[in-house]
Structure 1
Amino acid sequence: MAGKRTVLTAGLRRLAALLFEMREGVGLSKEEVSGKTGINVTTLYRIEAAQARPQRRTLMTLLELYGVEQERRKYALDLLSDAQKPGMSRPYEANLTEVYSAYINFESEALSARHYQTSYIPGLLQTPQYAGAVIDTSMPKVEAAVMESRVAARMNRATVLSKEEPLELWVVLDEAAIRRVVGGADIMRGQLEKLLLESKRKNVILQILPYDAGAHPGMAGAFTLLDFPEPNDPELVYVEGIAGDELIEGHLEIRRFGVIFDQLRAIALSPRDSVGLIERIAETMH
């Protein structure tokens, strides 16, 4: 069942990386570990790929085999405890894709997010009415209860902007997203007013990429870069697309998206000029 699946969290990814590092450190292959412990090779693969949470006894068996000292053993057990905690996506997972659920969990633990969007207002800045109008266009069509769950998940996500240590959000938004009337003029005007309000937060930077900027490197599609406070947590990129969403890791890939974002924010309007453009467009929504 969808509600029983293991959805990726920062804690689970941290534990998986640690176990891979430990196994590599003692020079054992997965097959050798399986032969010495009786743990299935497929299970070991899923644990090290953060696709499954190890049971406590499985973790203890691996730590014993790897000869892990007490302090590091405690760290691994603490990570397991952390990985067992439900992520922010838990109440909504039955109605969300696995990748999107994982993204919500990572976003809730991130230090900062750099977001580029081409077609619509980013989820963290949406009103419930706008979110419902966007989700209503999904294919295939979803039932009312599923739509309500997805809108609720989106609204709950936005709490990362107002928590004690809020997410630092930098958004570059294509002009098309603020001109396209989604859900009717009233809903769109409310959404633009919400954008103006959110842009006043100290932890939010909003820039509009105007039409007259011409061709640019972000035309291939939307993406989000997440940075984390833990130095052992590598950056992530979340990419949205019709073929499905994707979470990307890897230094070279991350660097490419970082360079693209830097180019986009350099050619976008300043935050002040962006607010002015949004205000002018909002005045036309009657």
Structure 2
Amino acid sequence: MLRNRRKAAGMTQKQLGDLIPLSQSMIAAIELGNEVPSAPTGQAIDNAVGADGELAAMWHHVRKDLQLQATHPIWSIGYLAAEAEATRIQHFANVFPGVTQTEEYARAMIEAANPIFGGNVEEKVEARLDRRVILDRDDPVWFWSILDESALYRVVGSHEVMCGQLSRILELAQRPRVVFRILPYDRGMPCGVVSIGALLLLSRPGKNEAVYWESGLNGALMETPGEVEVYRAFYDHLDLEALPPRASIDLIRKAREEHHAHCTHH
């Protein structure tokens, strides 16, 4: 956009840079997408090439993209957009889904991953908690989660953190559009699959069903019908093996009270 506007105004990169002022190399880097100017500089560039606010408006979108890249793995950014517009999400994993996590559980997860992925822990925690809005908005998403039983017992952070997380799950399960079911140890994994990481199927208005798969170190958003069909079949088999909602809630409550012995929640 900047290159097109600059050329339409009959300016070289050096001439535009002299007006701001910025070096020619910086103007080139901005045009290549390798640098993002500050908001005031972006407005000055907009004025210089006569963009009538278009470039200044684009700056906010670019900054938002950069913020997402700073707080989320690059492979998950496409999923975040799909999550925000989904009307129904079906989830499976051996950890609690991000949109259901307490602040303490989220921080413990992010801190544990930080030696690998780096970044600002508190910014990542805030970004994860912001995603919970899909459950709290006026027209909340239908959220159905199948949890591997190990999610109930593996200590993330501390027993107290786990107690708070399990209490959060029990509270969410009382909402009419939220369902949790447990895949117990003695059922095994369908289709001979040993492990699949996190799996989410998303229904969105006017679009094909999408699948997001994540291993913890990588992930992919898939939208082609053939790919989605494979994961849909796997999830349907999970659905057959998982405990009913009421029995699942009983198991979650039992895990909170018996396994996390220092739990103070009731």
Give TM-score scaled by structure 1 length: 0.65
Aligned residue number for residue 170 of structure 1:
144
The whole-number CA distance in structure 1 between the counterparts of 2:63 and 2:166 is 30
Question: Which secondary structure state, in structure 2, belongs to the residue aligned with residue 140 of structure 1?
Answer: helix
User: 1:36-185 alignment to 2 at 5 Å?
Assistant: 91-118=67-94, 120-138=95-113, 140-141=115-116, 146-185=120-159
> What is the SS of the residue equivalent to 1:200?
coil
User: Which one has a bigger Cα radius of gyration?
Assistant: 2
Verify the 8 A CA contact 2:189 2:238 in the aligned structure 1. no
SS at match of 1:152: helix
What residue identity is the alignment partner of 1:123? G
How has the CA–CA distance of structure 1 residues 255 and 94 changed in structure 2, closer, same or farther, with 3 Å as cutoff?
same
TM-superposed CA distance for 1:124, in Å, is 1.1
Which residue pairs with 1:277 in the alignment? Answer: 251
Give the SS at the match of 1:207: strand
The one of 230, 249, 256 equivalent to 2:223 is 249
**Against the structure 1 CA distance between its residues 155 and 206, is the aligned structure 2 distance closer, same or farther, given a 3 Å change threshold?**
same
Would the alpha carbon gap of residues 200 and 100 (structure 1) be closer, same or farther in structure 2, given more than 3 Å must change?
same
Match of 2:181 among 188, 191, 207: 207
Give 1:136 deviation, angstroms.
Answer: 1.3
Alpha-carbon deviations, 1:225-272, whole Å to 9, x = none?
Answer: 111012xx2221111114411111211110111111111111111110
Letter in 1 for 2:163: R
2 CA distance for matches of 1:154 and 1:87?
18
Structure 1 portions without partners, runs of 5+: 1-80
CA 1:195–1:173 in structure 2 vs 1: closer, same or farther (change >3 Å)? same
Measure, in 2, the Cα distance between the counterparts of 1:195 and 1:179. Answer: 14
CA-based RMSD:
2.3
Deviations 1:68-125 (CA, angstroms, capped at 9, x unpaired) = xxxxxxxxxxxxx9xx97898775432322221221121010111111102x111111
Cα distance between partner residues in 1 of 2:171 and 2:136: 13
In structure 2, distance between residues paired with 1:106 and 1:157: 12
Residue of structure 2 in register with 1:36 after alignment: none
TM-score in terms of structure 2 length: 0.69
DSSP 3-state at the match of 2:166: helix
User: Are residues 244 and 141 of structure 1, via their aligned partners in 2, closer, same or farther at CA, if it must alter by over 3 Å?
Assistant: closer
Cα distance, 1:216 vs structure 2: 2.3
How far has the Cα of 1:215 moved from its partner?
3.8
List alignment gaps of at least 5 residues for structure 2.
1-56
Instruction: List 4+ stretches of structure 1 deviating above 4 A.
Output: 84-91
CA contact (8 A) 1:88 1:108 kept: no
Tell me how many residue pairs correspond in the alignment: 200
Task: State the one-letter code of the partner of 1:246.
Answer: A
Whether 1:227 aligns to 2:203 is: yes
Q: Distance in 2 between matches of 1:165 and 1:96?
A: 26
| CA–CA distance in structure 2, aligned partners of residues 103 and 257 of structure 1 | 16
